Structure 1
């Protein structure tokens, strides 16, 4: 399964492709899990998307269904990383506190959870999706 997010970043239009494994796959019995993220840049002159590898040019991307945003690094935001959120399903207790959410480093292609696994889960009791919120000056 693939989810797509559009993000304006430094004057460029980017598309983040998020690859998820389905719950019935034996390698991920706990539910849908992100296993790959790719970033593509719109090339308006040629009318096509070009895959970016290795750098977000000193920025970080925040993606979720209700809100996607690009920010310059600083104040704890890590360079060349994609922060992602995914809705939690209340009928399942997720293994991570925020379910299928985390940080993906574009340079070394590694995943890091947003919160430690030892923290309590934070189930969403409504049909709404978790989202990012930013300071008004950002």
Structure 2
């Protein structure tokens, strides 16, 4: 049990000490510019969106493993491990369907910020990652 607490404490320290203006080293310069000019409310909304996606990505497979693990494998740990192994496979299969919607949602959110609206930036014109054209 103590191992889980250590992991959570490390995550909290990283979040507290990290710079919230840039979320990823792979962001395009345009996204970095928009993020650096977000208002406090917009930044709070962006952090909530990121936390929600993180919870969904972690809780859904974990809860399925904890619920189905004892039934199928007679062990919650084996169920969680099975879900940890199968989740990347499912994500890879759904990538073509799911990722464009997530990216479009992120572009729409970034284009709705006060600074982006004042600059006339449209959602379709935002490059999320540095390698996108």
TM bucket normalised to smaller: under 0.3
Q: Work out which structure has the larger RCO, using CA pairs closer than 8 Å and 6 or more positions apart in sequence.
A: 2
The TM-score normalised by the length of structure 1 is 0.26
Normalising by the residue count of structure 2, what TM-score does the alignment of the two structures yield? 0.26
Bigger fraction of residues in helix: 2
Structure number with larger C-alpha Rg: 2
